[in-house]
Amino acid sequence: MRSKIHHLINFLNQYTRFPVIEKRFEEDHSFRNAKAVVPFFYYFIFFIAVLKLLELRHFPLRGNFTPRWPIFWANYVDLQIVLTIVLVFFAFASLVAAFFYYRRAGRVIAFLGIFQYHALLSSFGSPHHQMDLWLWVAFLLIFLPNIWNEKNKSLEEQKKFSLVFWSAQAFVLLTYSMSGIGKILGAITQYFNGEVHIFALNAAALHVTSQLNAMQSTTLLGPLITKYPLFGWFPLVAIIYLQFFAFLIAFRPSLHRIWALGLVFFHVGTFLAMDAEFFHAIPLLLILFFNSPFGRLNPSWRQIALDLPIFGWIFASIFKRSKKNYLFEIKDVI
């Protein structure tokens, strides 16, 4: 049984290339970059919290108020008081973390503030997921080791710091992969049911018009996609590729920046096409990936090409080299 687990771990290590990313955890500049980026997560959370204080004037009530379990105490308090407490606490907690990001207690308080606000948003009947990623990243960052002071830094603590930061990146990408997996499963089900599936040429047009019918709105790209369905088909296939393989990209630092850029385009594009807004994810992609501690600012295009899912495998076999050997031969351009 142990040897089977050992084989499984070896297979996963080889397939995901986790040892490659773990080598980056040992690098001093990865740790320093991660350390530099973390405060910006809390600065931006505070900015969001301050903007949410505007909702004290008018909170968008979307249905019956049924408190989720994290705000169980709201069952005993008037709704207006609940809103005031949650919004003010959210702002206060995120300000504490913005100032004391280097203290675990500060990060815990920030998480509690986000958790209360997130639970409030989700307590009006229909689910509300705009803040999901921020909530879980705030939870993961609690586990950053206390080595902001360089004197406390050992290699193991440095690796732990990079690992936690990386786990925040990986979690965000995991959610995109879950979305991609759902789409692929949906395509398989619909194909075998004889229904229109996501790889059909008019799939994008159907998605767009169905959404716009439900939203009772129009968009910049909606009419174009409806009239010329192929115009939406190519981006849709690209979105499925970006989402499905997103979690794998966590293990391929050369692709962190480009993949995040693609996901930003995805969010902006779905708004311009379908009026489906999920902009809260964009700052998180910028903060965690645009200056990924584990990537290089100018990775070689060959490295990027070989790291691409599917295409990388094709390129590797065309050039008749194993990807594993190639990764340890190439020198990144700094």
Partner 1 sequence: MSYNTLKVFLISIFLFYFFGGVFTSNKLNGEVYPFYHWFVFRDVPSKIQAGYAIRILEYEGKPLNPPIFLKNAYGLYVNTNMASPQYSYIVRVLGENIVRKQQEEIKRHREILERSFLSQSVTYEVVKIEFDTLDRWGTEEWIKMERIIIFNTRDKVL
Residues that bind partner 1 in the complex, under the rule CB under 8 A: 58, 60-64, 68-70, 118-119, 122, 125-127, 129, 132, 135-136, 140, 143, 156, 159-160, 163-164, 167, 170-171, 174-176, 178-179, 181-183, 185-186, 189-190, 195-198, 200, 202-203, 205-207, 209-210, 212-218, 222, 226, 276
Q: How far is CA 9 from CA 18, 49, 168, 251, in A?
A: 10, 41, 22, 15
Q: Of 222 and 235, which CB lies nearer to partner 1 in the complex structure?
A: 222
Q: How far is the CB of 316 from partner 1 (least distance, A)?
A: 27
Residue closer to partner 1 (CB basis): 36 or 181: 181
- Residue nearer to partner 1 on the CB measure, 67 or 253: 67
Cβ at position 273, least distance to partner 1 in Å: 11
Query: Least separation, in Å, of the C-beta of 147 and partner 1?
Result: 13
Q: Using alpha carbons only, give the angle 243, 247, 249 rounded to the nearest 5 degrees.
A: 95
87: CB partners within 8 A, 6+ apart: 49, 52, 53, 55, 56, 59, 117
Q: Which is nearer to partner 1, 143 or 241 (CB)?
A: 143
Rounded least distance, CB 85 to partner 1, Å: 19
Phi-psi region of 320 (alpha: psi -120 to 50; beta: other; left: phi over 0): left
Closest CA to 231 of 269, 259, 262, 195: 269
- 49, burial (CB in 10 Å: exposed 0-12, middle 13-18, buried 19+): buried
Nearer Cβ to partner 1, position 68 or 296? 68
Q: Report, in Å, the least distance between residue 200 CB and partner 1.
A: 7
- Output the DSSP codes for 158-227: HHHHHHHHHHHHHHHHHHHHHHHHHHHHHHHHHHHTT---TTSTTHHHHHHHHHHHHHT---SSHHHHHH
CB of 79 to partner 1, least distance (A): 14
Minimum CB distance to partner 1, residue 327 (Å): 21
Buried b (16+ CB within 10 A) or exposed e, 232-253: bbebbeebbbbbbbbbbbbbbb
Between 102 and 199, whose beta carbon lies closer to partner 1? 199
Nearer Cβ to partner 1 (69/320): 69
Judge residue 168's burial from the number of C-beta atoms within 10 Å of its C-beta, 0-12 exposed, 13-18 middle, 19 or more buried.
Answer: buried
For partner 1, the closer of residues 83 and 205 by Cβ is 205
Q: Return the SS3 of 297.
A: coil
CB atoms within 10 A of CB 150: 8
- Kindly state the DSSP code that residue 69 receives in the 8-state scheme: G
The amino acid that residue 161 corresponds to is F
Please report how close the Cβ of residue 14 comes to partner 1 at its closest, in angstroms: 16
